[in-house]
Amino acid sequence: MTDQGGGSGRGPIDRAREDFFPEAQELVDGLGRDLLAIDENLKTGRNDPELINDVFRAVHTLKGLSGLFGAALMSGLSHELEDVLDELRLGRIELSSEVLDLVFRAVDLYSKLLASERGDLPEPTVEVRALLNALGHITQRGSAAGANPVVQYELDPGLLGVLTEYEEHRLRTNIQSGFRLYKMRVRFSLATIDTALDELKSKTRSHGEIITYLPTGDASDGDTLELEILIASRESIALLKAAIEAHDLQIEEVPRRSSRASSPAMPAPMPPTRAMPSEFPSIPVAGFDVEAHTSMAHVRAPSIAPQSIAPPADRDVSLRSVSQTVRVDIRKLDHLMNIVGELAIVRTAMFEIIEKVRARPGMRDLSAELQRLHRTFERHLGQMQSGILEVRMVPLGQAFDKLARIVRQISREHDKQVNLVITGAETEIDKLIVEELSDPLMHMIRNSIDHAIETREERVQVGKPPVGTIAVNAFQKGNQVVIEVEDDGRGMDLERIATAAIRLGMLTAEEVKELPQREILSLVFRPGFTTRDVATGTSGRGVGMDVVKTNIAKLGGIVDISSEVGIGTKMTITLPITLAIISVLMVEVGGRTYAVPLTSIEEAIAFDEGLVRSFEGREVMTQRGATLPVCRLRKHFGHDTDALSSRRMARRSGFVVIASVGERRIGFVVDRLVGQQDIVIKALGKSLSKVRGFAGATELGDQRVALVLDVAALIEEVLSTSLEMRTLTLGSAS
Amino acid sequence: MPKVLVVEDSGSMRAYIRAILEDGATVDAIGACAVTEASSGFEAMRQLPRGPYDLIITDINMGDINGLELIRFVRKSEHHKTTPLLIVSTQHTERDVERGLTLGANGYLPKPFTADQLRDTVGAVLKGKASK
């Protein structure tokens, strides 16, 4: 972005620019939701002009903001789009699915434009140009305004004078549709006006359209506000009264004029031109030629309106804003969370000092007092931590909104009808996880539509409903969030996957024979896997599912897959609720301390060397009747190359920490259990980020650092090595 | 210190206007302003009794109570009828802007505007008021 305002460094204007991204993103997200609702209306033949106006206003704001903050490409797109939307809301362009498609394209483009403004992506110049070109081809159907029907009504010119062009258009449209006009007077308390108004709106919605709200200014006492509301409705006044009935509400029908000859009450509508009027009534302020300095600004001397109202009784009345929402940059929350982490270290250090004090003779009272303080500190610290965590939580719905758009787009491309059913959108999860979740979910949905959902004809042939269904279901399960993506498509053909895996040289035919069903299914997550010979427009290029798996694994989660031929496929993502702070079990391995996230621990039991057997090339033990693969962390991390000491350690027994992610389980053999602790997890830094098996590091109270195990990656590593070993053994045995 | 009420539904637009009005260059040119923000027409109705203001800057295209309705309300009100009003709106809404000027707004600044444009316009409007 270019620098505006002439300030160097981080001036106030730069800070204002910081607000630009979140606000623009919010507008774009809202735009997507509104468009989906419009699309739904279009299919069912309903019409909600307010939605189109909302879309217009969002683009209008985006245009203003991008212009202000120097995002030229985005500003250009918004400008064209705004023109189209303006014509659309004023009824000069017909709303068709073709037009809607273009606007949908713009929403996706906005996300790219924002990313490019942040420097994350190159400028999508070509795409913007293509869309601008397409927008330019939308044809107008000519002005909808003929003779102005509004003059037939006895409307106060004062009221007509404050209608915006859009409101005037809605008024005309409603009159042309034969609706009646009503004028409603309501008095609201200023403190509660937002909720009261929302209530009124929802009551009115099913009976008519609110054209405008006009504060009357009569007897305004500073506490209450009287509004005159213009409503168009097909209902009779009695019905309307019954429906909207409220305290302090008067409603009357606006009568038609008896004669058409009466003077027009409002200025004739402007012709649909986009040119600026040649001249504004502008008078330069005395002694100051404004226009010389600000070529675009028009300034007039203050004029005094003829009407006047009684002075407010109490001018010092204090009215608090009812809006109580604050938007916060997530990095600020990260910072707060880091401070909490530092405080936790202080707390641990403090505890050690208290222990020392207690050990001294004659310090008993003092140490008891210190201990009480320490407990209070610990409690408040815990509350602070959970408070910050709560702020980071956002509903998953944010990630799901985009999916609905994708489904619409891809199913059109593939000419397949797909119904997306989302449940559990309100399930809350860490904001950072939501951000990273969109891409993998999108890939999964693309895959489902491309590979799983059959064409309409195929579906009818096998007796399925012609419209396919993809169900996305989210719910919380303990400290984890589970997202299931289930389709009712053709299911995954094990044979076909196996054949493809052999063709791609991943496995030999013999190896495949020995694989259990689930492991064959999980072959689709291997890099480079594809069953397609020819790549289609969307998935099937051999990138996709392995990327999904990697992305989910980065978030500390895992993807599982189950499928039945002819019935459908279910992919299950299991994720931690937050990334910021985790409860861990501290364990000792080879004299070093490691942290194992509690979310993935089932239990810890004493290790008995005698229970370990060798089964199909890997070490396993039987636990509660189930076979559990065992991983000796000491050996895995290479803490003892000396076989003798290994055996000596083994004899000293130890513990097995049983961990699971999704449906996979493993037993980690450790030397000692240290205890449970809440830690703030820190990234390993760029140079170490490629080391597998560790999710990060954390500071311990005594200035030491402990590595945090990435259980999902470790399970993956251990199971896949043993799988390779097994297939190797089997291969040589046959 | 002149009190300025900024009525605008976009948060970053409000922040931008506030930043310019509180900027050192503005303080040098026209003195320090006390800026009050309102995110909607209703919020403006709530803030008006806390006035009087020396300047009201308003957008037109807002949900519920629009800028035109706000302008009419201000001009009809005993306490605020002489308060200078400045419209900030995109060029797209020229008819609406014209209506706003007819209703008694004193000036119009099309979006997007630069810091200098806003500074000069606000300075002119405030000076116009002072010279009366």
| A126/B contact by beta carbon, under 8 A | no
Best B36, B48, B76, B113 member to test A by mutation, with max A CBs in 10 Å, is B76
The residue ranking higher by pLDDT, A300 or B123, is: B123
Give the helix/strand (H/E) hosting A167: helix A165-176
User: Under DSSP, is residue B12 helix (H, G, I), strand (E, B) or coil?
Assistant: helix
* Sites in chain A below the pLDDT cut of 50: 1-9, 142-145, 219, 259-297, 300-323, 534-542, 644, 726-734
pLDDT at A722: 56
What CA–CA distance (Å, rounded) separates A60 from A79? 8
Q: Are A700 and A593 in contact (CB under 8 A)?
A: yes
In a domain, B13, yes or no: yes
Give the helix/strand (H/E) hosting A477: strand A468-477
In a domain, B95, yes or no: yes
Interacting residues of A453 by C-beta distance below 8 A, sequence separation 6+: A416, A418, A468, A470, A487, A488, A489, A490
pLDDT at A572: 92
pLDDT at A702: 66
| A475/B contact by beta carbon, under 8 A | no
Task: Please give the model's pTM, rounded to 2 decimal places.
Answer: 0.51
CA dist list (Å): A416 to A33, A439, A456, A466: 22, 22, 6, 9
Domain residues for B115?
A: 3-120
In a domain, B129, yes or no: no
Q: CATH number, domain at B69?
A: 3.40.50.2300
Strand partners, A603: A658
In a domain, B53, yes or no: yes
pLDDT at A486: 92
pLDDT at A656: 92
- Torsion angles phi and psi, residue A109, rounded to 5: -65, -35
Search chain B and give the residue with CA nearest A161: B99
Query: Which pLDDT tens digit goes with each residue over B3-52?
Result: 899 999 888 888 888 888 888 778 888 788 888 898 888 888 888 888 78
Nearest CB neighbour to B82, from listed A12, A290, A304? A304
In a domain, B130, yes or no: no
pLDDT at A297: 45
Q: Enumerate residues 59 to 78 of chain B having a beta carbon within 8 A of any beta carbon in chain A.
A: 60-61, 63-66, 68-73, 75-78
Q: How many Cβ pairs closer than 8 A exist between chain A and B?
A: 241
Domains held by chain B: number: 1
How close are the terminal C-alpha atoms of chain A, in Å? 65
